[in-house]
Every structure is written in C-alpha cells, then in structure tokens.
Amino acid sequence: MADENGTPEAVPGNVLEGEHLLLGGSMEPDAQGRPEAAWYGDGAGEPAAFREGCALADVGGLVATCISGDAADAFVSAVFTCYVPAPGRLAGALSLMGDGRVAAPVLLAGLAPKEFCVWCPAELAAGLGEWIRGIAAVESGGVAPYSSVEFSHGAPLSTTLMLAGPEAAVVLGDYLSEGASLPGPGTLANVRLDAIDTVVMRPEVGSFAPYLVVVPDASARVLWRSLLSFQSVAPVGTSAVWGRVAEEAPGLVDFLDDPIGRRLPADLGLQGLLRPGGDFIGARALDGAGGRTEG
C-alpha cells in the first residue's frame, strides 16, 4: 500500500521463497510484485487438503494498514460496511465508493479502543489506501470530522500463513502453552506459538473459517518448516486458497479477477457484508439500485 503521503512503498520480497522452491512451488508475482507460490508440482491434489488434514499456505499478499485516532470509530463506520468491531473482534466488510460500487473487500479488526487494522488483497491495496485517505481529509464548512485519524503500516516485516482443514486447530494447538487457546471464528488474538509471538485471526467466509497467522519475518522460516513436520499438513498454493474461497463467495473472487470492472455488491452476491441501516458511504446510492439490506 502507499505510505502515509500516498507514495507507493518498495516491493517487499518473500522470506519463504526458497522454501517454496524446495517444495516445487511455481512462483508468480502478486499485484505488488511479491513472489508467491501459486501451486506446488501440478497442484492437482491441493484442494483435498482443505477437506482432509490441514492445508498450509503463504498468503503474504494481504496488505495491512492500522487506523487510529479520536474519530477512528466514526471513520471506520463511514468507510466500511460492517459494524465497528470491538477489540479482539474481526469482521468481513466492503469499502464502497459514493456511487455504491465496490472499492475493495477487506478484513477489519478491532485492536484496542479507537484502534483498528484493515487487511486488503494486494491488487486493491493502493486504490483502497488512496480512497480512505481521501475521505479522512474531507473538510466542509471549515469542519474536518476525521482530522484526528492517523494511518500506519500494519504488521511490518511479517509473513501471513493460512492453516485450514479439520486438523488445523489440532496442529496449532500443539504449539500452545497450558491454558492458552486459539481464537474462535470472527475473532483474533495475540498467541504465542512455542517461543514465537504471533497474531492469529479467524475470519469467516461462509463455512470457511481458516486460521491466519501473522508471524515475524525472522521466525517465518522456522515456523513454516515446523508446521510441515506434521504428517497431516500439506502445502497449498494461492490458487487453491482462492479456489476454496470461491466455493463460498464466487463473486468475491470474480471481483478480484477483474477489479477495474467494479460492480455493486448485489452483482457479486456480497449483500451479506452490508450492515442494516445504510449509514455508510455508498449506501444511499444502493437504495435506488436495490442493493442494500434493510434493518
């Protein structure tokens, strides 16, 4: 994503690229130029890992931005379509433009009072960053309602791993100390996996509720290799990950495949990400288009 001044950041590398190549990964650049493993070998058996055992993927192409300030609650309520998440809660949402078209799908987390973090697919991150920063700078009649809102890079120098499947909780649970637990669906938590401090998120996309583990780059290789030591764990590429997401939300993947041809939430089957009440940017335009859910 662009920095606080809107200047694009340098493209980061992938600290796990060597690990992916050792496993026969086919590397392709994501939208920011970061190399990612699209599949391993011919990729034919990867979808089965989501149903049997535990699928492990490097999904570092998610870009995080933190939002804070006295007006942060009002700001995220305006620019995202979910309810404002309490600290420790995680929600799927859309950011809409004024005409009701989708700017980006996101994950929005409450970190602390008046502090949030938003994750966005890399291919939409720059556009979303420009859009929300523009809203934050709005001034009318000498009043700037969001002037206190600040942005910072979320989870710098980190890698995001995804674990999903019937054995995912068992695998991660093996790293927990006595009395510790993993976050439930729709939540996130700071979790210490053996000696590694991580943030673990549990987003929900229909019946798909994977674990997303944000791990420091310095520890990513150690954790990756350790996870692969479990017989139930199989590496999968990003193609398989998005294929699984498409089973639950095909419109979301269609949108990511063609983000320039932006559409209304109803066109993508994403009305479920709109909170009732219509008090977010773009909602008024949806009234006339029949694309908003009523409270």
Mean pLDDT of the 177-205 span: 94
Q: CA-to-CA distance for 206 and 247, rounded, in angstroms?
A: 9
Neighbours of 190 (CB within 10 A): 11
How does pLDDT run across 247-292, given as a tens digit for each residue? 999 988 888 877 766 689 998 899 889 999 889 999 999 876 555 4
**pLDDT value of position 2:** 41
- Fold classified for 17-62+156-247: Gyrase A; domain 2 (3.30.1360)
Mean pLDDT of the 37-43 span: 94
Q: Which two tokens stand for residue 234?
A: 């199989």
pLDDT band at 4 (very low <50, low <70, confident <90, very high): very low
Share of the chain above pLDDT 70, in %: 91
How does pLDDT run across 83-124, given as a tens digit for each residue? 999 999 999 999 999 999 999 999 999 999 999 999 988 788
Contact 285, 98 (CB under 8 A): yes
Query: With 80 as the cut, is the pLDDT of residue 63 above it?
Result: yes
Query: With 70 as the cut, is the pLDDT of residue 3 above it?
Result: no
- Per the model's pLDDT, the better-predicted residue between 73 and 12 turns out to be 73
Contacts of 225 (CB under 8 A, 6+ apart): 19
The rounded Cα 145 to chain-centroid distance in angstroms is 27
**pLDDT value of position 145:** 96
Amino acid at 136: A
pTM metric for this prediction: 0.86
**pLDDT value of position 265:** 93
**pLDDT value of position 12:** 58
**pLDDT value of position 116:** 97
Mean pLDDT of the 190-205 span: 94
Could you give the 3-state DSSP secondary structure of residue 127?
helix
**pLDDT value of position 62:** 78
Q: How far apart are the first and last CA of the chain?
A: 34
The DSSP-derived string for 145-199 is TTTT-EEEESSTTEEEEEEESTTHHHHHHTTPPTT-----TTBEEEEEETTEEEE
**pLDDT value of position 121:** 84
Q: CA-to-CA distance for 294 and 117, rounded, in angstroms?
A: 27
How does pLDDT run across 8-35, given as a tens digit for each residue? 343 457 899 999 999 999 999 876 678 9
State the chain's mean pLDDT as an integer.
Answer: 89
CATH architecture of 64-154+256-289: 2-Layer Sandwich (3.30)
**pLDDT value of position 295:** 38
**pLDDT value of position 50:** 96
- Four-CA torsion 212, 61, 40, 186, nearest 10 degrees: 20
Question: Same CATH fold, 64-154+256-289 and 17-62+156-247?
Answer: no
Q: Residue ranges per domain, the chain?
A: 17-62+156-247, 64-154+256-289
Query: With 70 as the cut, is the pLDDT of residue 5 above it?
Result: no
* Closest of 166, 224, 236, 230 to residue 198, by C-alpha: 224
**pLDDT value of position 261:** 65
**pLDDT value of position 10:** 39
**pLDDT value of position 288:** 64
